[in-house]
Structure formats: C-alpha cells, structure tokens
Amino acid sequence: MSIPTPHINAREDDFAKTVLMPGDPLRSKFIAENYLENAVLVNNVRGIQGYTGTYKGKRVSVMASGMGMPTIGIYSYELFNFYGVENIIRIGSAGAISPKAALRSIVIGMGASYNSSFVNQFGLPGTYAPTASYALLKKAADAAEKLDIPVLVGNILSNDLFYDDAARTMEWQKMGVLAVEMESAALYMNAARAGKNALCICTISDSLVTGEACSAEERQSTFTKMMELALEIA
C-alpha cells in the first residue's frame, strides 16, 4: 500500500519517530495545543486528528487511535509499516479492576491480556502473550521516579467488549490484572510483528471496584501527569 493511506492523509515525513496515541481525538488536540511547539495538523481523516511539533526540542507526534483493537490495529499498523514510526505510546483511560488502582492513578501496562481474536491472523501454534517494549517501559518507570509521579506497573486487560452481557470482567482481578481498556494488546502485537516499540500508559478514569468515575471532560483535558510522562520519554 502506498501513502497516503485510506485512513491517514499525511505525507511520508509528516510523523516523528515517536507517536503518542490517545483514544480521543480531542485529547490529541489538547496535547498539541498545550504541550507541543509549532504543532501542525498532519492528519484529520474521519476526525482522527494527528499533529507533529516539538517538545523540549524533540520532534514528537500525537494522533488519536479511536476506540477498540480494530481501530488501533489499523492506525498503528500504518504508522509502523508505512510511515516509519519506531515508537507508539498509548496514553488512554482505563477502568480499575484491582483495588490497588485508585481513581486518577497511572497504570503502565507491562503485559496486555485479551479476549480478542486479533491474534488469530498471525497463525501462531500456541497462546501469545503481548508485552510492552522493555526499553520504553524502563524509560517510563525511570521518568516517573524522577518526576515523582506514582505509577503502578503490571498486567492490564484489553477487552473487546465495553458492554459485557456476561459481566465477567472482574474475574481477571484474581490473576492480578490491574485495569481494563480496549486497545493495548493489538498495539503490542502490531509492534512485535513490525519489530517496533510500544507502551501503554493509562490513567484510571473509573473503577469497577468502587463505582467512581471521571467525566468525559475530565478524561479529555485533566489527565496531564500521564501526558507529561509520555512526552518525557518520547
């Protein structure tokens, strides 16, 4: 496939080597307007806003992924394989399924369990365990310590279902899974297949344990510690 693709209308060199990837296009816009210098809109197909600018002298891009593994699967594949992107850092929201993960706390996904069939395309003769890239994981943990940002590092669940008729999400708690979101396993698989790097940093926006929840506006523009941590390692 040539570029631009059906989903990204950017030119070949429009993206930096590192792309921050929130789910929400408005979070992408917020980061570009509040953190990046000389930010330029490089993609807006289907309202999936992508920007490139600089942060502390480093060239950085930020582009939304939309919701779910199919969408981040498309965008991360194209960025890795067609646009020469080396690192994608997902910065999203997640629901706590462990009492250790308090509202607004930051969780770094060392591994991503899943209930998706996304992995079937690779034809593997067993069960695959998607993991973050160690280099990015270490940089994030070190930067969090330096910035005095408390983080939890562990396993997260990438769930294909937001509305789960069987209501079985909390069963993952017994295996030490910290939180549930909808994208990271696919991102980690695409990164592994392309020989690239990926990491998920999430802010707890709601809790299946306590019933607490942040508003949509809070999710869009107040999860700044997560954004700053990702920008530091970009």
Longest dimension (CA), the chain: 49
The domain limits of the chain are: 18-233
What pTM value is reported for the model? 0.94
Q: How many CB atoms lie within 10 A of CB 38?
A: 8
Residues 234 and 179: their CA atoms lie apart, in Å, by: 24
Residues 157 and 142: their CA atoms lie apart, in Å, by: 24
- Over residues 12-24, the pLDDT tens digits come to 899 999 999 999 9
- Over residues 201-226, the pLDDT tens digits come to 999 999 999 999 988 778 767 789 99
The fold of 18-233 is Rossmann fold (3.40.50)
Got the DSSP string for 41-83?
EEE-GGG--EEEEEETTEEEEEE---SSHHHHHHHHHHHHHHS
- Over residues 75-106, the pLDDT tens digits come to 999 999 999 999 999 999 999 999 999 999 99
Residues 220 and 80: their CA atoms lie apart, in Å, by: 26
The DSSP output letter for 182 is S
Catalytic residue among 24, 142, 165, 206: 206
How many Cα neighbours within 13 Å face the side chain of 45? 13
Reply yes or no on whether 206 is catalytic: yes
